Chains A and B, each alone.
Chain A
């Protein structure tokens, strides 16, 4: 059973428009959420994160929104640029066994930004 779900395998947007990538989770123990971006032939790179005590975190063109009651988060990219074309992974972090933490990953959404 997938605890972190990215239901859209792909998304295509026009350059300059907003890209919205969605992520749903099932485990209420998750208290920190991260977005990673992955280009072909490279490992994922950290993009932006949000703690469960917040509902919004912004970093330049990237904003993550968290709706805890709906167990839903979204990544907004505005304006979208062709260089943003990549696979975006949502990951959720939970504490277990004392001070240990585990990241649970979604399947990813492939974003294509068209010029």
Chain B
């Protein structure tokens, strides 16, 4: 595997379900991100992990719970979601250092539908 991978690619869940999205990066990067892409909206940054520590949470509801066990893996745990949470969820990684301007490498995304 190369680059950034995400599983599953598609997920349909009910509002009472609990599911998890998985992201893995094979680039040796030290920062990972979760984004949400909804129709007619710009990419919305949800969470940032830098060296496995969460450094940013953009006022994301608690029904989304991230987990970063190591610098290569990132999870997004989902529970009691709402239909408006249906979107494309993208994972990205980057190498953060003093000279890096935050060029991010993205996975293919998980298309989530909440019924």
Chain A residues within 8 Å of B, Cβ to Cβ: 2, 4, 31-32, 34, 36, 41-46, 49, 51, 89, 93, 99-107
Contacts and interface: CB of A to CB of B under 8 A. Distances in A.
B4 interface: yes
Interface residues of B, number: 26
A100 B97 CA distance: 9
Residue of B41, B55, B106 contacting most chain A CB atoms (<10 Å): B106
A99 B55 CA distance: 12
Nearest to A45: B106
Interface string B17-50: 0000000000000000000000011110100001
Interface in B86-115: 90-92, 96, 98, 100-109
Given A100-B55, A101-B101, A43 B107 contact: yes
A78 B56 CA distance: 39
